[in-house]
Amino acid sequence: MLDPFVRLLLFILPAYVANAAPVVLGGLFPIDGGRRAWDGRPYLGSSKTWLGLAGGLVAGLLAAVLEAHLLIGTPYDLWAGQGSWYLLTGLLLSAGALAGDLLGSFAKRRLGLGAGQASWLLDQLPFVLVAMLAVLPLGVTFQFEPLPLAALLVLTVVLHRAANWLAHRSGLKKVPW
């Protein structure tokens, strides 16, 4: 039997990839078109772009395809050889991760935080939480055992901070968070 935490990491990987990809693949065409909400602040900000959204979705799907090719037929196979389940969950996890990131940005703008300003939990957790919510209609709750899930949330915060620091150091991001 595959360790529940390893299984959860393999399961959530497309969401992680989808969330990280817009840093590299984004730019051009802000999703909010520069429009402002009722409070006079941007809906999302110029860093949330259609190109990043599309790039994140494609990257997350590619991660799911790669997982299917690497895991089917091994003890790490998440879906008993059903490649279509890798694609379906990869699509939902990726779309959910991107929606969660947009939701976090929307909430940050409502709180008066500009693009690039740090918000400890709104920067790290919405993408993974909404990604997990996105697959609930498929009945895949077996992935969400309490202890591995708690460990994943802590790991998400740590990995997100580390990845953003590396992206900042390499010039991909203006700020290290």
CB 72 within 8 A of CB 22: no
Domain enclosing residue 132, as ranges: 4-169
- Mean pLDDT, the chain, rounded, equals 92
The whole-angstrom separation of Cα 42 and Cα 166 is 27
Kindly state whether residue 147 falls inside one of the protein's structural domains: yes
Please tell me the predicted confidence (pLDDT) of residue 116. 79
In a domain, 175, yes or no: no
Q: What is the pLDDT of residues 142-166, one digit of tens each?
A: 667 899 999 999 999 999 899 989 9
Contact between residue 93 and residue 15 where contact means Cβ atoms under 8 Å apart: yes
CA distance 40 to 36: 5
Tell whether 143 is covered by a domain: yes
Sign of CA pseudo-dihedral 149, 155, 157, 163: negative
Q: Which residues pair with 30 in a beta bridge?
A: 49
- Judge whether 137 lies within some domain: yes
Asked if residue 176 is part of any domain, the answer here is no
Model pLDDT for residues 95-130, shown as the tens digit of each residue? 999 999 999 999 999 999 987 788 878 888 999 999
Total domains in the fold of the chain: 1
